[in-house]
Each structure stands twice: as structure tokens, then as C-alpha cells.
Structure 1
Amino acid sequence: MHQSSFPEVSAFHSLLNRTDWAGTPLGEIAGWPSSLRANTGMMLDSLVPMAIAWGPERVLIYNEAYTRLLGEKHPWALGRPVEQVWPEVWSRVGPLVERAYAGEAFHREDIELPIERGGRCDPAWFSFFYSPLRDDTGAIAGMSSTVIETTSRVQAEQDVRRLNHTLEERVEAATIELRRSEAHLRSLFGQTAAGIAETGLDFRVVRANEKFCAIVGRPLDEVVGHPLDGLIHPDDRRENTALIERMLASGTPFEVENRYLRPDGTEVWAAKMVAPIVEPGATRPTSILAIVIDITARRRAEISLRANAERLRLATDAASLGIWSWGADDENPTRENERLYDMVGIPRDGAPVDTVRLLTELVHPDDIAPYQAAMARTLATGEPFRYEGRFYRASDHALRWFEFTGALHCDDRGRPRRMVGTVLDVTERKEMDEKLRLREERYRTLLTSMDEGFCVVELVHGADGTVVDHRFLEANPAFERHTGLLDPVGKSARDMAPSIEQHWNAVSAQVAASGEPQRMVQQAAARAAGSTCSLPVPTKPRATRSRCCFATSPSKGAPRKNCARWRPTCRKRTSARTNSWRPWRTSCATRWRRSGPGWT
């Protein structure tokens, strides 16, 4: 048992007394110099971490508070040289110890030292107060060190500095971003193609860009500070106000198309996106932002397009035209208007007509090949689609004639994409053409077989306006037999009979001027035998064409007597012919009407 030199007021005091000091350069406590015992006693009573290094070996003595710095090195460190206890920091602490041993008292604050604690080496910060210690002779024999660990404070200060630095960086970055955003916003606000306006909750404009002012047709000073309602068309104000109030209540932006009214009375259509602006920390909108695009041209184009579509519908309905389209993707026809439903006899809610159904159910079997050939020709050459054929109407299976026309639309590479066209029901026209063909056939048969000569002539006028000749436009075989004028069509009377009497032209001119038909019986000088009966019949005043009927007399030696004897016969034959011509007179008139402007 060692002799105790210090009062055992604590467990640490007892530990210090039981330490084998005899095995250290200091020896037993009883042999310590009084100055060392006094300083050690004062150190043991201190609550501040303190240590003493004594002797040339710098033997370490420390108090209980110092053990927090030593960690696992306690109690091994008691009585050992300082250099052995703190090898990891001796390169920095050693010079300080030497200064104290040299008689200098000083302090150092917040020295960073790597300290081994808890099985690892961590950085720590300390403030040191060094004082030299003298022995009983007054010579410097050691030093005392008061150590205050400042790791928590230093780390806190470092954290604060780092935080401040981070905050400064963030503030700087935010400032830069804010400036960039403001510059971007100013650029966007001033240069965007859209009009931008901001209003307060009182609907007065706070700011607006030049494009917005151009849209509403007012300078900036007549926009900013003025109510937005004053810029909107009166007919649209109520709706606009209701939408804004609904947005402020719900916080949901909205889009709308309405009109602004310029000072000159011009209406400007605009598409607007309106959104609430909520400032940071606020719970309700503080202002209103509107982005405006001028769509006047688009609206006018839409109105024009609708008007054109309506005119097209009226035109196609008036013309009884069906409109169809054909797509290259499915190669099926599509009905594009209501008229086509009626023409093909398919219900509006019925199954669509594809190509297979079109060819097997609707197109007449004899017209399938022409239809396919016309379609193939258009697709191959790009020329307009034209086809006329017979179709069975689905509703009553009636056979109808349809006339198709269409235009092919191709892509940039010239590949067929779509064909759009019209269809016209030409059944009545076909039936009329057939009737006209039959009447024309009967007309030709009658003219060819009749005994009287018949011709259609065109009057030829001289420089003074008088009729000097007539040109034959049509003549039947009997006319050639009676007159001896062979193949007269296209030739003039004087070309074929230069000695023809002028009174023929005079009579034709009189008929053309009066519009009244005339009969005459006279021997033709161009043909010595017989007499001729002429019946010119113009159809309107100042006509240039006449119809003539001729009959020959049986005696060339006594024309006047023969004329008197044959006059009753001529009347009967003429009456009979007139009665027989009445059924097809319309047909003849139609045909003559096509011959030129003199007939209607």
C-alpha cells in the first residue's frame, strides 16, 4: 500500500495516490518537491482540464477533467512522458512545451489537433494556457497546461461560416437567377409575338407590352392605369367579367376567345389565356395575367370558309350534285353530302359502301370494266376522273345513269392520296337523248323517203346588207332530184347554179325580215322541167335560215297551166305533210336550233 499524499476526496484522488509513482522518474509522492505537490493539489481541485509536465522527462500528471481529453489513454497516461501520451500531436504540441520549459507563459486558441478517441482519430480544437513551474530552488522544473476543448464551438462556428457561405452563395445565385429571370421576363414581355397585360384585382391594367397595345389599337399611356373592360367589346364584357370572377374564386386559369374594340370601331378577335398571380406568402391571387394572341385573320378565314361551304352546299343541292371522296389508304369511296344518300338509295345510318359492295351490288355488270379502267387511268396519269355508267339504286333497285367527275390529289412524291369529285344523276337526260335519237331517226327516214324536196339554207348578205345568195346547210335526196343540184350541203346557190334568179334571194330576205312563211309556185331556171313550190319558215325576226319544200310539175311546156292544175294537189299534199310533221316538229326545231344562232 502506498502512502497517500493527497486527500482522497474523489475516486480520481484515490487513483492518483495508488499509482506506482516509484516506477516513474518522479518517485514516490512523498519525495516530490513541495512546489510540485502544491501545484498538483491545486490542479486536482480544478474543474478545468489541467496537466503538469515535470522534470526533464516531462512526466505527465493531470486532473479528472483532463481525462475527457485522454479518452482510452487514461489511466495509462499517468506518470508517462508527454511525448509518449500524445505522439499523434507532438509535432505541434512539442514546440509549445519547449517554450514553457524555457520560461515563457503564453496561450494559444483553437488549435486543431487530431485526437485518438473512441478507436478513431478525429480532428479536435483546443485552447492552451501554458505556464512554467519552478522547483523549491526557484529553477524551472516543469510546466502547467490548462486545456479547454473548443471543438464544439469551433465546429459550430465553422458550420455557421459554411452555412453563411452557402447562404451567400445561394443568395448570390438566386440574385443572379432573379436578375436573369427579370431580364428574360423583360425580353419576353417586350419581344414576344403575344400581347401580355397584367391587371390588379380592380381590373385596371398595371403593365402591358407593345404587342398588347398594338392589338387593342391604343398607345401605352391609354392602356396602363385604365380599366380592362373599357378595351373589350361591349357584347363580350359580361362573359369576360364572369370568367375572371370564377377564376379568382377557384384559382384555375381559363382560355377564351372574344373581341377587343379599337377606338376607330374595328373589332379585333383575340385568343386569351388568363391566369391568377399569387405572390409568395399569399393565399389568394394578388393580380391577373393575360396572354393575348390576335386571331382576327383566322376568324375571318373561318367565316369565309363556312360561307364558302354553305355556298357550295347550296350550289350542289341546286344542281342535284352528290359529292364523294376516295382514299388511297382503304381504296373505298366515301359519301360527303346528303344528296349522295338519296342518289344511291342507301340509308344515312346504313353500312358504308366499300369497293367490293360498289362493284357487286350497285354498278351494272356491263359497266364494271369501264369504271375500273377509268379509275386506273386517273391513278396512273393523274388526269381528271370521268365516268358515265349505270347504277342500281339500293332502295328500289331502279337502274339509274350516273355521271362521275373527280380530281386526284397526290403527296409531295406524286403518290395518290385522295380523290374528290361529284356525281350527277343523268337518267332523265339519257332518256331524253334516246327519245331525240329516235325522233332524229324518224326525221331522217321521213326526209329521205318523202317525194318533196327539202332544204335548210343560210342567207348570205352583201356589203350593202341585201341578201345576195344563200348557202345550203341541209338537203334531202328529193331536193337533189328536183333541182339537179347534187351534194349541195355547204355550198352556195350561185356556186352551183350561177344563173339562179335573184327573186329567190328576195323572197328569202322578205321571209327573214317579216317572220311570215310564204308559198310560191315557179319554174326554176336552173332546171327547165317542172315547177317548184317553196315554203320558207323562219322561226324569229331577222332570221338567217329558212326551211324550203319543193315539188316538181309533170309538164315542162306549160308551167302556168300545170301549176293551175296541180295547185289543189299541192295544197292537199302540203296539208297532209304538215299534219304528219307536227309530232316531230319539236325534235326538228331542236336540231335546227343547234345549227346556228338563227334558230331557237
Structure 2
Amino acid sequence: MADAFSFLPPGGATGAEIRARDWTNTALGPPEGWPPALRNALSLMLACPTAMFLAWGPDLCCFYNDAYRPILGYRLPTALGSPFREVWASIWDEIGPLVDATLAGESQVLTDRMLDLSRQGVPERSWWSFTYSPVRDDAGAIAGLLCVTAETTARVLGEAALRESEDHFRHTVELNPQVPWTCDPAGNITSYSNRWLDLTGQAPGEPLGTGWAKALHPDDLPWTMTAFSATLSSGEPVDVDYRIRVAATGEYRWMRARARPRRGEGGGIVRWYGVVEDIHDRKLAEERLREVNDTLERRVEDALARRKLWADVFETTDALVNVLDAEFKVLAINRACADEFEAIYGVRPRVGDNLVDLLADKPEHQAASRAVWARALSGEEFTLVGEFGDPTRKRRCYELKFTTLRDSQGRRIGAFQYAQDVTDRRRAQEQLARAEEALRHAQKMEAVGQLTGGVAHDFNNLLTIIRSSVEFLRRPNLPEERRARYLEAVADTVDRAAKLTSQLLAFARRQALKPEVFDLRERVRGTAEMLNAVTGARIRIVTEVTDGPCHVRADTSQFETALVNLAVNARDAMDGEGTLTLRLTCGEALPSIRGHAGAPGPFAVVSVSDEGAGIAPDLLGRIFEPFFTTKEIGKGTGLGLSQVIGFAKQSGGDVDVASALGRGTTFTLYLPHVAPPSQEEDAAEETAADAVERKLCVLVVEDNPDVGGFCTQLLGDLGHATVWVQNAEAALDAIERVPFRFDAVFSDVVMPGMGGVELARRLRASHPTLPVILTTGYSDVLARDDAHGFELVRKPYSADEIARVLQRVTRRPLV
């Protein structure tokens, strides 16, 4: 009997499953009738080592190769031959539009797309790159699609970690007392630490290329550049000394530049990495030593006279000076060094003594001293910093520099130690650090005080209106017209209080946003039309919008509020007359703003420019503070820009500002650019909106007795039955006792013990058909993760809001 599957390559788990399955009653029918196009596609796919799947026919029946099997996870036992939509139902919202476009004849290529495949049945974050290509039948019509895919999670997370590491390294470099730098193979400086700018007074960017050489002493420039060029050409390590002019004092100080090359695979130099360190004090000491040597060579041959002259010279410095020969014998030592040595070890070194032998009764100190001096006597030059001194008295901190000692012919004859007392400098640095910390704390407390005062002021104003209105409403003979007016005042004031709370949470980046993907072009144009009513007839609004689509994922209401806040500020800055320009571009990088690292993007960029008076430079650093305003009393709360920056930061972007007095101000809002959204209509939402409301049994989970009692009363007035429990654990018990009793769960988010989000997730796993509605006035969990996936009602809520959301979730189709 002929093999119906002879077109399949031999071997493989998937090939065996295809052969073993009875295809008679499937949409594809017996394999003898499968078209050649399907047979060829299956043969090529099964033989390929790259993960891929094939969807064929009207139902898009699924086939896949062995490399694709791990991607299916728990779906593997039922995936073969099943409709593509059923296999990947959990992510159909993301891939459905790709499938439709592919079947329409468009190949799709996506890179590093985040998908929640839930391969083991639990949510997971993973990234994928894949291509969708149409597959045609024997007549040339599109009969299916082929997907080639690869997981890129490790690379995406690795690149994110690398960016974090690079940012960490940049911050670390700026704290280095040395000056790190890099240059290309031709010797052009490509990067440097900002400490070079502090030392030399050069402007940012000026040291690049050969601009660094402008800071050198004119006498040192020719031979420094010659030596630098010679080492770059030979590939030998750079080691050159020169003087630079210190901007703070106007004096020249000696510096030492060292660098080593990094080579590519072919051995060629791709970049040089180096540091510049201050060696001025060491240079001065060496110069004095050379003067001593020259004097001794010219005038004194007698060893005793030489020692006396050295000692006389050394006594003129406060530093601890010590010189040893290759045998660890003291060639010269000044009184300060001998006194300190005697105070620590109980023995006074003299010229001719073996310094190491003097420490024979202290083995640990002897070994350490031998090791350090051995390094110095071998020709190594280095610096040590540590505390030394008599343990019975306050110890001092010294910086010890070791350099090579040579004779007049340049031969190494010993080593030179020059130790400076840096105790006061270290203490000053510590005091400065403590002062800076105290200043930061004071600034923080000032901001907290300002924030608290502003909140108290505004809320007391609102509470005054509410309290006065309620007092009048209690009067029995109050006319109906006045009663309606006071009720309207209370409702309006509650809305204003909720808006104030929302602005504060926006500034703190703690509000629970409702992000969605939308095209900024339409939103900017629509908001610009609305702004005419805000800015007035004397403000001319100019809108410049990019031609191509520009999508972001953000809270649309908060975005519009941010634009309105910026427009209102612009109107006030122009005193109600001038041109307001809204400009939208897309695909740009995020620059470094207020010292924060930039990002390559892409970002959507919305700028709002005015022709107003501008902002004084000394105020630019405070404009985003809550309740800070330059407007007259009663003309601004000081929360508008706080809302703008809070919204931008929480949405993954930032806000920049540029201003010039008398020439206007431009605020630039950066938001991450995303792919366009799915075009599928939510039929379930439409069904819910048109459905007739029915009476429900709602489980209320609320730990606050006042709020819980009010909520159950509200639901009862809407005609629903309620059961009220005060924590999530009790809610789980109530549901497990009678699982079919409740039509919905209405739960607070912030509660002692298990929170509302965790309760909702457990119910989703154990009772997937039971709708869960969350409510909160503030939740750090929801502020950090807007993708919680549950309905959310913000406090304060109204009866109409509760009625609408209950109607929506109970009429929604369950999948």
C-alpha cells in the first residue's frame, strides 16, 4: 500500500504525530487529497531546524516543526491540526492583525515584540522576533501563512542590563579623582570625565579631538604632542608628563597621562583608554631630590656630609620623607618621619639602619613594610592612602607616594617615600558630605512642608464649601431652588477635590493610569481645537503635526490634561495675546534632561511654544515643584506642571523646558513611541452597553467600616443584593462556601493582609467566570503596574459609575 505521507521527511516527533493522526474527519481531509502546495510547505518546514509553524486552509489548521514544539508549552497536546485562533487565543489581540494583514498578501516582520505566551499556564514576559509570510495554493491564491520565529528574551533583557551597567559606569567615572579618557587610533579624544572641565575650565565638547591640548603649558605642548604621537604610532603604552593651567587658581600643575590600547581581532588598535592624574606634589619632591643630588655630586664626596645635607633639606618640609636603597637601608629620613615611626613602633630609624630589620619583633608590620618597599624598589611608582600613628592617640590619615630614586647617570639606586598628612582634607570632605546630606534633607523637608501646606490650604477651601452647603441643606424650610444650588455646589466641590488628589498623585507618579494606544496626531489636533475656548480669541494657535502615524500608550485623559495645563501657562505668560504653537514629531531620541541619562527611543515629541515673557533662570529648577507658582494669588494652584511631569515620568517619558527672558518658553513632552493598536471591535462592549440591567448579588470586600456600609447601601439602592466582608481572606471563604452565589466581586485594593489585586488574581485562576471590579483612591501597586487586567473604579465614585461598570462586566462574554 502506498505511503500517504511519503512527502514528509523521515524522523522527527512532529512528523510522527502527523503520520499517526486520522485526518479523515478534519477540514483538510485524508492526506491523499492534500494539495501539492501544502505537501511542499510541510516538507520544507519539518526539515528546517529553525522554529516555524504553518497555518493552512479556511480554518488555518496548525502545523509546526520540532523546533517550534517548546514554544507551544501546555498547548502542545491539542495544537496539531487545530485552528490557529484557538491555539493562540490568549494572544490573539496582539497577533490577529498580523494574521489578517498576511492573508491579505502583506509579509510582516516584527523584532523584539513582547508577548505573554504563558507556556506553562502562568503569565510570563518574553520577547520574540518573527516574520509572517503568505503561502499560496496550486492556483496562486493565498491559502495560509508561514511564521518563522525566534525568542529574543535573553538578548532584550541583556541589552537592558547593559544599558543600566553603562549608566552605572558613567556615574562611577565621574566620582574618580583621576580623569579617565579615550581616543581613537589617530589620537583624537572621543570621551573624557567632567573632572577635566572642572580642572581646566574648558567648555563641554572643547577637549574633543585635539582641543584638550589648549589647556597645556605652552612650553610643554611641543614635546608632549611629539611623545603622544610617537606612542600612538608604535602602539606602546602612553606615559607622558605635562603641566596644565588650573582654572580655579590660574596656576600650572603637573599631570601624568597614561593609556593602553585595545586591539581588535586582527591586531589593529581600535581605541585607547587612559587616565590623567595629578602628580604635582611628587614632581616638586623629585625636583628637590634632584637638587640635593646635584649639590651632593658637585660639593660633597664624604658620605657623612651627604647624609647631613639630605637631612637639612628634608627638615624644611612638613611631609614624612624617607629614602631607602636597594638593601632597605635608610639613605635619608626627616625628623617628622622618624618621630612618627618611633611613636608607632617604639624605635627611631637613623641613616644607615635597615628599616625592615627594625620591625623584627613585629612580624605582621615587617611583612607589610617589606612588600610595599619591594614594589617601590623594583621601579613601580604608586600611591597608598591609610591611617597611621600611635594606637594610643588619635590616628592621622596619610597619602604615601612612592617613586624611583636614580643617580646622575639615570641608574635606579633606591626608592623615595613622600607622605602628606591628608587628615584635615579627608575630614573636610566628610564634613562636606554630611553638609550636603543635611542640605538635601532640609530641601526635602521644605518640599514636604510646602506640599503639606498647599494641600491643607486647598482642601480646607473645598471643605469649607461642602460644610457650609450641608448646614444649609439641613434647614427644613430651605427653598427647592436653593437646595438644588447647594447640592450642585457639593457635587462640583467633590469633583474639584478628586481632581486635586489626581494632580498630586500625578506629580508623585502614583496615580493608577488607564493607558491605551492612540494616535497622537488626532489627539493633538482635537485638543488644539478645544484650546480655543481655553486661551481666548486673542491667542492664535498653530498646529504642526507629522505626516506619518505616531502612536503612544498613555492615559488619554491625563495627556489632554497635560496639554491644557501647558496651554494655560502659555496663555498667562503671553498675557492673553500672541501665538501658541503645538508641534508633533515622531521617532526621536530622548536627550539627557536635568542630569538624567537619555535613551535612543523612538519617542513621540510634543512641544508647546509661546511668545511670552519667559522664565527666569533661577526659577527653572523649581517650576515642577508642587504648589510653586509665579502667578498672582488666586490665579494658579501650582499643580499644573507637577501633573505634566508626573504624567510624563509615569508613562515612561520626560518633560524638558527651554526659555529665554522676553522671547518665550517651549515645553517639550517625550512619550515612548509604540506600534499601532489592533483594529478589532469589541462586540462584547457593545452588547453590554445595550443590555437590559439585571439584579445581581455582589460580594463587597472593604476593610473601612464607613466606606463598606456606604457601598452596600449604594448597591442596595441600585436594586442589588450584597454580602460585605472586611478582608480578602474572608472573601475567598465566602466564595468557596457557595461558589455560584455571587454575580460579581467589588473589592478595595489597599487592605491589611492580602490586597485586592492579589485577591483578583486568585479568583481569576480559581473562578475565571466571576467578574472582579477593583476600587481605590490610591494604590502603589496599580501605579507601578497598569497592566493588572481588571476593571478599576477610582474613589470617589458615584452610583452611576458603579451601575455602568457592573452592567459592563456582567454582560461581557466569558472566554
TM-score over 0.5 for the pair: no
With the length of structure 1 as denominator, give the TM-score of the two structures. Answer: 0.38
